[in-house]
A and B are shown apart, each in its own frame.
Chain A
Amino acid sequence: MSSTLIDSLFIFMLACFIGFEVIRHVSPLLHTPLMSLTNALDAIAVIGAIVMVGERKSEFSTVLGVIAIVAATSNVVGGFFITDRMLKMFKTSRPVKK
């Protein structure tokens, strides 16, 4: 295994711990918007597809890549959009502190 792979494993491990710590503190109130938000963030996979399509290494990879861009972009746009709509609905009965 090369050192870049080891580096990647370290990053993965640390990111998992950060993920567990951060998500643990999310209020159960917001579990639905949390899921749509992580979904939108996960669609960052689009950057892999963008590079693949842009490089045009083969017809096959370009076709699959374009479909992948469409799928992921719809998650980015739709995911952020619906999360925002959901969060706008959460109101408190207490006066909002400025």
Chain B
Amino acid sequence: MNAFAGSQHLIEIIYLIASALFILSLKWMSSPATARHGIWAGELGMLLAIAGTLLHHGIVDWTWIAVGLVLGSGIGIPLGMVHMTAVPQRTALSHAFGALCVTLVGTAEFYLRTPNVPKFMMSVLSMEVILGGLTFTGSLMAAGKLQEILPQRPITYKGQNLVNFLLLAVAIASAVYLVLHPEAKQFFPLIVGISLIFGILLIIPIGGADMPTVISLLNGYAGLSAAAMGFVLQNKLLIIAGALDGSSGLILSVIMSKAMNRSFTNVLFGAFGQVQAAAAGGAEAKPVHSATPEEAAAILSAANKVVIVPGYGMAVAQAQHKVRELYDILSKKGVEVRFAIHPVAGRMPGHMNVLLAEADIPYDRLIEMDEINGDFPQTDVALVIGANDVTNPAARTDHSSPIFGMPILDVDKAHTVMVIKRSMSPGFAGIDNPLYYLPNTLMLFGDAKQFVGAIVRELSGGH
């Protein structure tokens, strides 16, 4: 007995240290200079926690634990080696794996304990499998859309929100019934099943531009489900790690929803992805000015201050390395080049920063929206590469625009705006961008990678 109690105390102490390491790990993420210490703290905490858990007195068989750990590591290594452009779908996939673990443990736990499940336990257990289940299928759907296995276009139908709400209501009602009548275990598979279906339905109406918010939200749900699991198992380390992950995901979703001018409740209840049908109006042939790579190169080399605005189009065209060449050659000519990063540019929070860092662009050149917006009037050239809605001045001026009120990068205030774009087709939301018709805007039609490459060739051969 004493040996048991002793090992239990030791495990608790180890968990305490691991909790502290986890918090430090996130704290060190506050700046790129200390961030790698954060990983080491996290790894050490994780290692300690797993090693400590193996001391658990109830463990009688290590074979299958070892099998699981080895198999998981085998899957984890290739998942850690994916290309940087695949990071959004990898992240979504890992949310799915995390949620799968939580849901499976919750399910097994229920069948081990039923019918003697106290009310509070049953409530958190239901919360665990509902959040876990919907995060599992929802994240798989998100990963499928990001990997373009599934159609990326949002699919909507009449009464969609009503159907979703009714389903969720049935799941919650079943959970409440189960809390009051723990012996009615036939309700448990119903709760799990509905949560799985709900996760799929939740992501069906989501389009690419909503992905940063949705991935953050799923991150938050995954964290909260893990915290619920901590309550079920009465494991404080799990509660803490889940709470940290949950708050991180929720903060990121709030930041993303603010950057898209949506209320947090709007995001929380998954009412995103509404397709603006009204916006397509009138394909009027307004005149635009276009320019060749030679002209663009001449304008850029005459500039003193250039701000490059990257968007998802840059990621799709894999243009980041060409952009780095452009950055190098302009910097060498004495041009000040900076990058303006909109919070929702790309498919997940911070997506553009990672791609540009991968291309070796120093991170102190990557400037956040609020910081750089005041500088556009003094900017000679704003070069927009594959970004659209986040530069749309209608968000500031046009009350009827579906994106009215969304904070944007004020590129239209620069002396010259150059937009690299494949064609005049509207962006994701189907909203026309008045920026393209301004007298100081030049359209550079073509593939981002090829066009930037042509500008670079022109600049390097031209002197």
Interface residues of chain A, those whose CB is within 8 Å of chain B, are 1, 4-5, 8, 11-12, 15-16, 18-20, 22-58, 60-62, 64-94
Contact call B53/A51, Cβ cutoff below 8 A: yes
Closest to B97 in A: A71
Shortest C-beta distance, B202 to chain A (Å), equals: 19
List, sorted by A's number, 13 A–B pairs whose CB atoms are closer than 8 Å: A12-B231, A16-B247, A32-B91, A34-B26, A35-B348, A41-B25, A43-B97, A48-B105, A50-B65, A51-B58, A71-B72, A74-B73, A86-B84
Give Cα A26 to B349, complex, Å.
Answer: 12
Q: A44-B226, A91-B357 are in contact. Are A76 and B72 (CB under 8 A)?
A: yes
Q: A31-B349, A50-B53, A72-B98 are in contact. Are A38 and B249 (CB under 8 A)?
A: yes
Give Cα A42 to B38, complex, Å.
Answer: 15
Q: A19-B247, A46-B101 are in contact. Are A81 and B50 (CB under 8 A)?
A: no
Contact call B100/A67, Cβ cutoff below 8 A: yes
Q: Which of B273-281, B358-366, B416-424, B452-460 contacts A (4 or more CB under 8 A)?
A: B358-366
Q: A23-B251, A26-B26 are in contact. Are A15 and B240 (CB under 8 A)?
A: yes
Contact call A29/B32, Cβ cutoff below 8 A: yes
Q: Report how many residues on chain B are interfacial, defined by Cβ distance under 8 Å.
A: 110
Shortest C-beta distance, A40 to chain B (Å), equals: 6
Shortest C-beta distance, B348 to chain A (Å), equals: 6
Give Cα A80 to B216, complex, Å.
Answer: 18
Q: B373-387: contact bitstring with A at CB < 8 Å (1 yes, 0 no)?
A: 000000000000000
Give Cα A63 to B131, complex, Å.
Answer: 21
Contact call B29/A70, Cβ cutoff below 8 A: no
Residue in A45, A53, A64, A79 with the greatest tally of chain B CB atoms within 10 Å = A45
- The contact of B248 among A38, A58, A69, A74, by CB within 8 Å, is A38
Interface residues of chain B, those whose CB is within 8 Å of chain A, are 18, 22-23, 25-27, 29-32, 35-36, 38-39, 42-43, 45-46, 49-50, 53-54, 56, 58-62, 64-65, 67-69, 71-73, 75-82, 84, 87, 90-91, 94-95, 97-98, 100-102, 104-105, 107-109, 111-112, 120, 215-216, 219, 222-223, 226-227, 229-231, 233-249, 251-252, 255, 341, 343, 348-351, 353-354, 357-358, 360, 362-366, 368
Contact call A76/B46, Cβ cutoff below 8 A: yes
Query: Across the interface, which residues of A come within 8 angstroms of B360, CB to CB?
Result: 89, 91
Shortest C-beta distance, B192 to chain A (Å), equals: 12
Contact call B46/A91, Cβ cutoff below 8 A: no
Summarize B's interface: helix, strand, loop or mixed: helix
Query: Across the interface, which residues of B come within 8 angstroms of A60, CB to CB?
Result: 108, 111
Closest to A61 in B: B108
Contact call A92/B364, Cβ cutoff below 8 A: yes
Query: Across the interface, which residues of B come within 8 angstroms of A54, CB to CB?
Result: 54, 56, 58-62, 65
Query: Across the interface, which residues of A come within 8 angstroms of B222, CB to CB?
Result: 39, 42
Query: Across the interface, which residues of B come within 8 angstroms of A22, CB to CB?
Result: 23, 26-27, 30, 244
Contact call B72/A32, Cβ cutoff below 8 A: no
Contact call A72/B36, Cβ cutoff below 8 A: no
Query: Across the interface, which residues of A come within 8 angstroms of B120, CB to CB?
Result: 1, 5
